[in-house]
Amino acid sequence: MSDRPMTTATPILGTLLDRRRFLRISAGSAAALMAAGMIGGRVARAQGSFDGVTLDFIGIPGEEGQVELEAWRAENGVTLAATPFGSWDEVFAKLRTDTFDLALVANPYVSLWGQAGVLTPLDLSRLSNWPDVFPALREGDFLRDASGNVYAVPIAWGDGPFVYVPERVPTAPVSITELLDPAWRGRLTTFDDPILIFHQLAVAKGYPSPMMTRDQLAEIKEEARTLVGNVRTFTGTYQDATDLMVRGEVDLAIGGWEAMLGWAEAQGATLDFDFFAESNGGGWCDSLAIPSNAVDVDAAYAYIDQMISPEVNAQIASNLVSGTVNSRSVEMVDPAALIYDYSIVEDVTNPIKFEAWTPPLEAEGDIATKRDWDDAWAEIRAG
Amino acid sequence: MTAEAARVGGGARRRRVLSGLPLLPAVAWFLVFFLGPLLVLVAFSFFTFRGLAWVPDLHLGNYVEALTDAGFRTILLRTVTIALFVTIAVLLIAYPFTYIITFIFPRRKQWLYFLVLVTLFGSYLVRIYAWRTILGAEGVINETLLSVGLITEPIRELLNSPLAVGIALTNFLVPLAVLPIYSAMQNVSPGLLEAGRDLGAGRLHLVRTVALPLTMPGVRVAAAFTFIAAAADFATPALLGGASGRMAGGAIAREFGQTLDWPLGAALAITLIGVLVLAIGALWFVLGRLAR
């Protein structure tokens, strides 16, 4: 079992971030933003620092600061127009074709998208709250390219548990390799993406993921094929994965979120979570970036700075049940949301926490590229 | 040519032009919203995906990959097979149903036809999720079979399987097939069927030798609609097909949405169109032979 903050938070999670509250926050965000869109975005509000600027945001509803920065926007004359998305790759596609001022980017993609030219290298001197960001996040390689340019600012983070049904899984697996056993046939669900599966299987074998050789990738591909053979169905969302477990279709979700426990409890079911040894405490970290074709750059910087300010980021962490990124925020976070091990983000020398799990776009020698990973996954999924 | 003849000819030409004007909106819509995007797709299929960018160095490499990749061939075969079975199931349900409401219950046929149309009003995704509820381990079917003691464990293969995909697609597409078949049956005179009965022909014989040949154009359209819709669907396999049920639509969606290799995705899409055209051609040939 892991030595993480324990499941005593579980019943509290059910009340703190129950499905209705989460949906209310998201629906409130969506409704408000739709209304703003319907009356045409760029409406001049009360005279403020930015005189009626509309910031176009793309990302996950609930992580755009719609609720947390409502007062700030009113004071500064800023309107927020948000575009939700279906997948991270969809975000990338839209960043290339549309114009946005702010983009939410997951940790596997920050450096990749920066190198692809869709994100702007940030001038960190414009962020007054940057020095208070936890060291392991501030210094994280996942935010940078090889030249050290930083492309995004973390606003929320979490660990990477798997979630399971304790009634049907009396003893939680310790390693992801246990899920290769035929006893798990038809009992798993996961996301239709190779990164999580390939990376954790590689780490279990001691391979230097994501910088694996093609031969190493070939071995991992065969293990992943066995694992996928035990997957009953792929899921697109955490809510769907929760429903699959509650309805008895699957017993374990690879790649989960603590909030799923509350959603299940609302349906009268009990779930639990734990961590594979291979996860090394790492998980997810969502960051705000400024796309390379952003229009209102000054307002974007100001917005990001507000999102990582102590009071606002504490509110974000409480609402999302995520980790806060500002070291001065911790004491302001709702205690029921303090379920994460903050040593992950406090110690800059702590290895493999929010590393970029995505393989390189191009590589020298025999290193497997992103295309190699995608082709391997496509071969597995073809059946 | 005399002036009179020229005037008459000119008037005829003007009438022909004017009579074609009502077609303009439909033609414009077709050009702008179908042909235009299709041509963009074709152009993309010759590009290269390199370093997360789409490079317009024209080549056939994407088509070579689409036609030679073993994984995509497997997916294509699965797609055509499932689409074929669904088409056969749909026609076997839709044709008798339409025959019955047209010729057995002629007075009520419009109401029954409307009931069929009503099923199309519902959200497609809602119906997929409904099938998840019906076919699931704790779904209606398993609960019923468990309660009467016919099984002791839920039949988990009802859901997340090609069977689930086939059942759901058949359910969605029967109304779509009824539409053209119903239209074709309106052109079959009941008097022909009556004459055949008077001459001693049985009902099945009448269907095979009278109704079917006369309604074959509608049946062919129904078969084409059903086959294309079943082959191109990616939501139903994704939500009901389980981990091993990927079909061509899902593979194409993945190239556009996840790997971002739009050129390859475009080539896969064009290849799928070609395969569907050939498959439908073969289907129409078989249907035509059946009607003889």
- Residues ≥6 apart with Cβ < 8 Å to A130: A124, A138, A153, A305, A308
B257-273 confidence digits (pLDDT tens): 777 889 999 999 999 99
Which residue did the predictor score with more confidence, B42 or B109?
Answer: B42
CB contact under 8 A, A229 and B254: no
pLDDT for A60: 85
Judged against a pLDDT cut of 70, whether residue B157 lies above it is answered with yes
Q: Give the other-Cβ count within 10 Å of A164's Cβ.
A: 23
Judged against a pLDDT cut of 80, whether residue A4 lies above it is answered with no
CB contact under 8 A, A247 and B137: yes
pTM of the model: 0.78
Under a CB-based contact definition with an 8 Å cutoff, are residues B133 and B140 in contact?
Answer: yes
CB contact under 8 A, B257 and A93: yes
A281-323 confidence digits (pLDDT tens): 667 899 999 999 999 999 999 999 999 999 999 999 998 889 9
Task: Please state which of the four CATH numbers 3.30.465.10, 1.10.645.10, 3.40.50.12280, 3.40.190.10 is assigned to the domain occupying A9-157+284-346.
Answer: 3.40.190.10
CB contact under 8 A, A89 and B260: yes
Contacts of B141 in chain A (CB under 8 A): none
Q: Give the other-Cβ count within 10 Å of B29's Cβ.
A: 11
Residue of B nearest to A369 (CA): B51
Q: B148 at the A interface (CB within 8 A)?
A: no
pLDDT for A363: 78
**Residue B126, min C-alpha distance to chain A (Å):** 14
Under a CB-based contact definition with an 8 Å cutoff, are residues A59 and A103 in contact?
Answer: yes
CB contact under 8 A, A89 and B258: yes
A160-174 confidence digits (pLDDT tens): 899 999 999 999 999
CB contact under 8 A, A383 and B160: no
Q: A236 at the B interface (CB within 8 A)?
A: yes
**Residue A36, min C-alpha distance to chain B (Å):** 27
| Best A191, A231, A233 residue to mutate vs chain B (most B CBs within 10 Å) | A233
Q: Which of A186, A381, A383 sits opposite B156 (nearest CB)?
A: A186
Under a CB-based contact definition with an 8 Å cutoff, are residues A88 and A43 in contact?
Answer: no
Q: B273 at the A interface (CB within 8 A)?
A: no
DSSP state of A284: E
- Residues ≥6 apart with Cβ < 8 Å to B230: B82, B83, B86, B87, B169, B173
Burial category of B34 from C-beta neighbours within 10 Å (exposed 0-12, middle 13-18, buried 19 and up): exposed
Structure ipTM:
0.79
pLDDT-based confidence at residue A236 (cuts at 50, 70, 90) = confident
Judged against a pLDDT cut of 50, whether residue B32 lies above it is answered with yes
| Best B134, B247, B259 residue to mutate vs chain A (most A CBs within 10 Å) | B259
Q: B208 at the A interface (CB within 8 A)?
A: no
Which residue did the predictor score with more confidence, A136 or A288?
Answer: A288
B167-220 confidence digits (pLDDT tens): 999 999 999 999 999 999 988 888 888 888 888 888 888 888 888 889 999 999
Establish whether domains A9-157+284-346 and A162-280+356-382 are of one fold.
Answer: yes
Report B:56-95 residues touching A (Cβ under 8 A).
Answer: 70-72, 74-75, 78
A59-116 confidence digits (pLDDT tens): 988 899 999 999 999 999 999 999 987 678 778 888 988 899 999 999 888 988 898 8
End-to-end, the C-alpha distance of chain B in Å comes to 51
Contacts of B253 in chain A (CB under 8 A): none
Judged against a pLDDT cut of 60, whether residue A330 lies above it is answered with yes
Report A:181-210 residues touching B (Cβ under 8 A).
Answer: 186, 192-193
Under a CB-based contact definition with an 8 Å cutoff, are residues A7 and A272 in contact?
Answer: yes
Token pair, residue A161, equals: 């548990």
**Residue B164, min C-alpha distance to chain A (Å):** 12
Alpha-carbon span A136 to A112, nearest angstrom: 19
Alpha-carbon span A84 to A30, nearest angstrom: 9
Domain ranges, ordered by start, for chain A: 9-157+284-346, 162-280+356-382
User: 3-class DSSP state for residue A363?
Assistant: coil
CA atoms within 13 A on the CB side of A294: 26
Going by CATH, does the domain composed of A162-280+356-382 fall within 3.40.190.10?
Answer: yes
User: How much is the average pLDDT of A268-278?
Assistant: 91
- Residues ≥6 apart with Cβ < 8 Å to A368: A212, A213, A214, A216, A217, A359
